[in-house]
Amino acid sequence: MAKIFIIAGMVLVIVGIIWLVFPSAFSWMGNLPGDIKYKSGNTSVYFPIVTMIVVSVVATIVLNLFNR
């Protein structure tokens, strides 16, 4: 369990550094086709359903690789 936390922490640090150095590297996050965006006057609703599905699938694959 400790190994997973250490690896997850290292991955987060690497992603943070990439995001800091290349701010446009993750511009696709939240802008995938199928994400629901609605704006009307002062009201705005955003529901990133496709982005959540992609993140869930990637997280499931990564966690299954670590649990073997």
36 sits in which H/E element:
strand 36-40
- List per-block mean pLDDT (blocks of 10 residues) for the chain, which spans 68 residues: 84 90 83 89 92 91 82
Closest CA to 47 of 30, 24, 62: 30
Give me the pLDDT at residue 67, please.
Answer: 77
Give yes or no for a contact between 26 and 14, defined as CB atoms under 8 angstroms apart.
no
Give me the pLDDT at residue 31, please.
Answer: 82
Give me the pLDDT at residue 5, please.
Answer: 85
pTM of the shown model: 0.63
Number of neighbours of residue 51 by Cβ within 10 angstroms: 16
Residue ranges of the domains in the chain?
A: 2-66
Rounded CA separation 65/57 (Å) = 12
Give me the pLDDT at residue 3, please.
Answer: 83
